[in-house]
Amino acid sequence: LSSRVWEAQMWTCEWWPTIKGRCQTGCWSPDGSRLLFTVLGESVIYSLSFSEYRGEMQGQVGGSKTASIVADLSETTFETLLGEERIGGEVHSMVWDPTGERLAVIVRGHPEAPDSQAAVAVFRTRNSPVFELLPCGFLRGERGARPQLIAFHPCFKKGALLSVCWSTGKISHVPFFFVSTHVPYASPSPVAASASGWEQPLFSER
């Protein structure tokens, strides 16, 4: 398969060869310099970077044209206070908050495993001077509740505010208060439970 990529200044486009499969979901970094996307049936997140052209180069799409895998959300078992938890699987949707510091991803879980639950994976992100992706936890609803839709509030001043719509009809608002640019603090709502994540970045361009 191939994809058509447009630039929004002169509205020209280029055909790019892509990986096998159809795009499931995608989101842009707040500055428009990076696209994260997933492919239907896969559990990995791909990244494409773009540059802004001016002058004679204006009107060109640019970009890396080669997608890099920056995260693998395959099913994994975690030890929690409630025992072993199985989380991971195909990516359903994802959103990037307006500050560029949080990425939320709905992970469907394994449909044939009864103890595999759908969850919202939350990542700490940085796009400059280098791109980094650091898992920082999971959000889950009540027993049997599956996340359906997620969105970040566009004007939350104290950090990032994530809204989650669950299959039960309930909506959770989960604030992430940024104490500083280097030491963020997450405060999950009572409806959502947070599980510990990894300690090392999944991806860094350094």
Dump the DSSP string for 101-150: SEEEEEE---TT-TTEE-EEEEEEEE-SSS-EEEEEEEEE-STT--EEEE
Per-residue model confidence as pLDDT tens digits over 123-163: 999 888 889 999 888 898 888 889 999 999 999 988 999 99
From the list 2, 91, 95, the residue with the least C-alpha distance to 41 is 91
From the list 24, 168, 162, 22, the residue with the least C-alpha distance to 89 is 24
From the list 123, 140, 127, the residue with the least C-alpha distance to 176 is 123
Is residue 197 predicted with pLDDT exceeding 60? no
Per-residue CA distances from 152 to 81, 105, 114, 146, 206 (Å): 28, 12, 30, 18, 28
Taking all residues of the chain, what is their mean pLDDT, rounded to a whole number?
77
Distance, CA of 94 to CA of 45 (rounded, Å): 10
For 56, which DSSP code? G
Distance, CA of 39 to CA of 37 (rounded, Å): 7
Is 134 in contact with 202 (CB distance < 8 Å)?
yes
* pLDDT value at residue 1: 55
Residue found by looking up tokens 């361009």 in the block? 205
**Residue 46 φ/ψ region, left for φ over 0, alpha for ψ in the -120 to 50 degree band, beta for the rest:** beta
* pLDDT value at residue 39: 87
* pLDDT value at residue 117: 79
* pLDDT value at residue 165: 96
For 55, which DSSP code? G
Residue 182 confidence class, pLDDT cut points 50, 70, 90:
very low
Q: What percent of the chain has pLDDT over 90?
A: 32
* pLDDT value at residue 58: 47
* pLDDT value at residue 114: 62
From the list 88, 80, 90, 105, the residue with the least C-alpha distance to 27 is 105
Helix (H, G, I), strand (E, B) or coil at 76: strand
Per-residue model confidence as pLDDT tens digits over 46-98: 988 876 655 454 444 555 567 788 999 988 887 777 777 778 889 999 999 99
Residue 185 confidence class, pLDDT cut points 50, 70, 90:
very low
